[in-house]
Structures are given as C-alpha cells and as structure tokens.
Amino acid sequence: MKRAICILSGGMDSTLASYIAKKDGFEIITLHFNYGQRTQKRELKAFREISLKIGAIKEIELDLDFLKQIGGSALTDSNIEIPIGGLEDGVPITYVPFRNGVFLSIAGSIAERFEAEAIFIGVVEEDSSGYPDCTKEFINSYERSINLGTAIDKKIKIKTPLIELKKEDIVKKSIELNVALELTWSCYQSEDKACGVCDSCRLRLKGFEKAEIKDRIEYK
C-alpha cells in the first residue's frame, strides 16, 4: 500500500490535507511539531485526536525547541503581542522564520526512513496570511531538494492539495469529506476557547461565513 507522511498541526488546513491523503488511498503516518508555540498543548491534543480519527498507522511527535530560542515570531515569543487588528499586507509578525522549510526537511527524512512516496502539507497560497514558505515556487524547489538528497529509489512528492483554495473552499471541502472540524484548532493565542480576533481565527471565521456554514468550535 502506498504511504504518506502528513504534517499535521491540528489546524483545519492540515487536517483536510490529511483526510485527502486518506481518501486518495495512502497509508498515513502523521507528523506533529512542538516548537514552543503559545497553543502547543491544545494543538497537540488536536493532533492526537485527529490522528486517531483518520486511522494513522503511526504518530510522530517531535520537539523543535530551537524555533522558540530563535524567536522573531509572536507565536513563540511571549514578549511580542499577537496582532488582533485584522490582516495586514506583507509578512505578519506571526510568521515563524522558515518553519515550513524545517518541517519539510524533517518530513523528508521520515519519508526516506519509512519509504513513503508522498508528504502532505496543508499550505495555502492564495488566501494565506502572507507567509513566504507557503508558495508553489517554494514547495516545488523543496521537493527537488528532498529528492536530490535522499537515497531511496522512489521519488518523494510534496502534495499540496489546498494550495490554490480559498478558506471558504476549504470549509466546503471539509464538509464534503466529513472532516471532524470540531477537533481542529486554529487560534494563535488561546487554548480553551478560540479568541476569534487573531489572524488565524479571522481567516477561519471568514471562511465559514463565506461558505455559509456554522463553525463547530467555541469562541470567546
């Protein structure tokens, strides 16, 4: 059976990408990173529940404390406030420097180890928060690098099934595939009820509003 590594934060996008991998007939290994983010415990809870829900054959949880040590992001540095004034142009302060590059490097290593032929990641280019490591150009370049630097015969594909979607499309697709949206977590700053005002909550709520579907999680 073909096998895929699914980078799963516990958020709505990575969860849908994992469900798509399952629908496409892949045996799933879920991969989660703890990197000192503010909602680390809540994201980990979501990851474990979603991994169980989709029937992952293996769950891998890795600690990347150095991303917190590097700092430079409101997600990892408590001295930097999470913006709540709405989405702005440019790269936001919630961007973690080269996070997806780090994640994909590790996923490539795991894919080689377990002879997986695909890595699924829920990056969104068109309607994202302006992160530079969510673009097609970046992903295509990284896929080539992974295949140049691994020893297995099969080519590893980086699958980005959401990259051209808008948030409302992601919500609709999630409903279509019966994704357990109530298990997902998107909020950047709260671990009990979602704040509803951070960039990630705003994008999520906007997606549900445009899709004319009620969100299944609680907000403050």
Instruction: Tell me the chain's radius of gyration from C-alpha atoms.
Output: 16
pLDDT digits (tens, 9 = 90+) for 103-151: 999 999 999 999 999 999 999 987 556 789 999 999 999 999 999 999 9
Instruction: Kindly state whether residue 219 falls inside one of the protein's structural domains.
Output: no
What does the alpha-carbon distance between residue 83 and residue 142 come to, in Å, rounded to a whole number?
30
pLDDT at 109: 97
Residue 107 in domain: yes
Q: Cβ of 211: how many Cβ atoms within 10 Å?
A: 19
> How many angstroms separate the first and last alpha carbons of the chain?
44
Q: Report if residue 26 sits inside a domain.
A: yes
Over residues 196-215, the pLDDT tens digits come to 999 899 999 999 999 999 99
pLDDT score at 130? 79
Asked whether residue 99 is domain-assigned, the answer is: yes
CB 203 within 8 A of CB 88: no
pTM above 0.75, yes or no: yes
**Tens of pLDDT, residues 117-129:** 999 999 998 755 6
Residue 126 lies in a domain: yes
The CATH number covering residue 83 comes to 3.40.50.620
**Alpha-carbon gap, residue 37 to 84, rounded angstroms:** 17
Find the domain containing 31 and state its range: 3-211
- If one counts the domains in the chain, the total is 1
The tokens for 28 are: 């799933």
Mean pLDDT of 175-185: 98
Determine, yes or no, domain membership for 216: no
- Beta bridge partners, 219, equal 194
115 inside domain: yes
Residue 106 lies in a domain: yes
pLDDT at 129: 65
- Residue of 95, 82, 50, 118 lying closest to 201 (CA atoms): 82
Alpha carbon distance 158, 123 (integer Å): 11
User: Are 127 and 203 in contact, with CB atoms under 8 Å apart?
Assistant: yes
Secondary structure class of 194 (helix, strand, coil)? strand
Q: Which two tokens stand for residue 80?
A: 């930097």
